[in-house]
Amino acid sequence: MAFDNLLSFIIKNRLEKMRKLLLESDLISIQKQIEKYDYKKLQLVKKYHLINGLNHVVKNSPYYKDKMPPQIKDLKFDNALAIIPKLPFTTSAEVSKDSEQFLAIPKEDVVNIHFTYGTTGGKKTIYNSKKDMEQINNSYTLGFLNCGIEKTDIAQLVYSFGVWGLAENIQRVLLNLGIITLSTGNYVNFQEQQQFIEKFGTTVIFGTPSYVYNLASECDLPQKSKDKMKAILVGGEGLPEHRRTIIEERLGGEVYINYGLNEVGGGIGSECKIHKGYHVFPSVHVEIVNPKTREPVDIEEYGELVVTTLNREAMPLIRYRTGDMTRLIDGDCDCGLKLPRIDYLKGRADDKVVIGAAEKYYPINFDLLFDPMPEIKDYWIEISTRNEKDALLVHVLADKPSKKLEQKIIEKFYTMDSIKIDIETTKTLNVPEVVFIDKLPKGGKRRRLVDKRKFLK
């Protein structure tokens, strides 16, 4: 116990020094500290936060008080990580039903409230303390540094502002870092966005993949503006590889995808210049489990991402089931950063659908199918039943709709052996149909696969 107390004292002092450094917003000094990260130090800090965090929720969270196993009382550095698989899971439905039951501080100490989009179980109310807002700043700062952002950059923020809170978080961090920020949002038209880029010499753009892709498609930037553009940071949705290429070609910057969830305090991880998955921020602990058995999967095997917040004060979440399907990436990244990595999302556990003769599909299966087709700007697939067979109706946004493109899309489906067999051999699937659309539906995040059969059962 004496050793644990001494170790906790040392780690606490070092973390306080790092906190002060982050508050000073000295990017060069922060970068030097990040480069000193190593696996052993990160594991010690994780254990420290886990011990303090679990003691905090047991004492203060109405939801977790009676749910934690007896072993929590005997937490030490040598058994802190081993106890995680013994802890209860937290689901999206439980947070949606009553966010206040997770509140672990007095309500008068809450300084920020924001909400999720509500695409996975209804809108969730998310509470943050002053300390939590600092942690969000720290995670975002780390993500920005991973993407090469510097104090001399000029950032254009084209996310929507509102209850989601993402745009406000990014704006606050950029201003704290002393980076000139053009908070244009996504309410001005694409021509006006281009005028801002050209007039102020934008070097970094922040936005959702779909909006930035459409911005890139509509803009005709002069070469000097493309040459100034350094980085384009996107998040909130997936990004097919061909879209990344188009964005980079038309806007000039290097695209970086970031991943996060408002439920767990915003950022979870970000790409680096190697572009091989997301580096996971030190503010969370991640696991990959089988969504059915809830047991851990083997390293590099796909499963559901489960997140435990490590240093969250107002609304800590333990083993939160994100519903996102990914895997841990084994080995060190060539960029040299020692933070663990997860792969790009394969889809959501509840996005997986069975089509035809029991073949299972994720949205990524169709993203990869349409990646080589630059004629397609966007799409989603509606799954229904017709003549006692499954039916696929593909909604396609394209610059030049035509019968030729329609046929090309249908032929693409036949390149998937499982689809072809179900159409021609098992007779469980109708020939896919294509309908061209003029614009995307309004709203937040959209699903690639919309299973109408669920509403018919």
Q: Among 351, 405, 294, 310, which Cα is nearest to 80's?
A: 310
Confidence (pLDDT) at 1:
66
H-helix segments, 371-450: 403-414, 417-424
* CATH 3.40.50.12780 segments of the chain: 128-347
Confidence (pLDDT) at 361:
82
Q: What is the token pair recorded at 397?
A: 């946004």
pLDDT averaged over every residue in the chain: 87
In angstroms, rounded to a whole number, what is the distance separating the alpha carbons of residues 300 and 297?
8
Separation of CA 185 from chain center = 20
Biggest CA pair distance of the chain:
76
The answer to whether the beta carbons of residues 291 and 348 sit under 8 Å apart is: no
pLDDT category of residue 24 using cuts at 50, 70 and 90:
low
Residue that the structure tokens 């179980």 belong to: 121
* CATH 3.30.300.30 segments of the chain: 353-455
pLDDT category of residue 105 using cuts at 50, 70 and 90:
very high
More confident residue, 360 or 251: 251
In angstroms, rounded to a whole number, what is the distance separating the alpha carbons of residues 411 and 359?
19
Each residue of 348-403: pLDDT tens digit?
A: 766 678 888 767 787 778 887 887 888 888 888 999 999 888 999 999 998 899 99
The burial of 20, by beta-carbon neighbours within 10 Å (0-12 exposed, 13-18 middle, 19 or more buried), is given as exposed
Each residue of 305-361: pLDDT tens digit?
A: 999 999 899 999 999 999 899 999 999 999 988 899 999 988 776 667 888 876 778
Confidence (pLDDT) at 440:
73
Length of the chain as a residue count: 457
pLDDT at 58 over 80: yes
pLDDT category of residue 234 using cuts at 50, 70 and 90:
very high
Per-residue pLDDT averaged across 203-215, rounded? 91
In angstroms, rounded to a whole number, what is the distance separating the alpha carbons of residues 410 and 394?
9
pLDDT category of residue 56 using cuts at 50, 70 and 90:
very high
The burial of 7, by beta-carbon neighbours within 10 Å (0-12 exposed, 13-18 middle, 19 or more buried), is given as middle
The answer to whether the beta carbons of residues 335 and 272 sit under 8 Å apart is: yes
Residue that the structure tokens 């008080």 belong to: 65
Phi, psi of 426 (to 5 degrees): -75, -20
| CA 131 vs CA 27, 112, 126, 311: distances in Å | 20, 11, 14, 9
pLDDT at 206 over 50: yes
Q: What is the token pair recorded at 414?
A: 């036949």
In angstroms, rounded to a whole number, what is the distance separating the alpha carbons of residues 209 and 247?
9
More confident residue, 100 or 360: 100
Q: β-pairing, 433-437 with 389-398?
A: parallel
Q: Which of 82-86, 112-116, 257-261 is least confident?
A: 112-116
The answer to whether the beta carbons of residues 209 and 158 sit under 8 Å apart is: no
| DSSP SS3 for 295 | coil
Q: What is the token pair recorded at 450?
A: 């919309």
Confidence (pLDDT) at 328:
96
Give domain 128-347's CATH number out of 3.40.50.2300, 3.20.20.70, 3.40.50.12780, 1.10.3720.10.
Answer: 3.40.50.12780
| CA 340 vs CA 38, 295, 311: distances in Å | 10, 20, 17
Instruction: Tell me the one-letter amino acid at 279.
Output: H
Each residue of 140-188: pLDDT tens digit?
A: 988 898 898 999 999 999 998 877 788 999 999 999 889 999 999 988 8
Class of domain 353-455: alpha beta
Q: β-pairing, 376-386 with 449-451?
A: parallel
Confidence (pLDDT) at 247:
94
In angstroms, rounded to a whole number, what is the distance separating the alpha carbons of residues 434 and 330?
40
The answer to whether the beta carbons of residues 449 and 361 sit under 8 Å apart is: yes
Phi, psi of 261 (to 5 degrees): -140, 130
Instruction: List the Cα angle 375/378/380 in 5-degree steps.
Output: 125
- Give the contacts of 20 (CB within 8 A, at least 6 positions apart): none
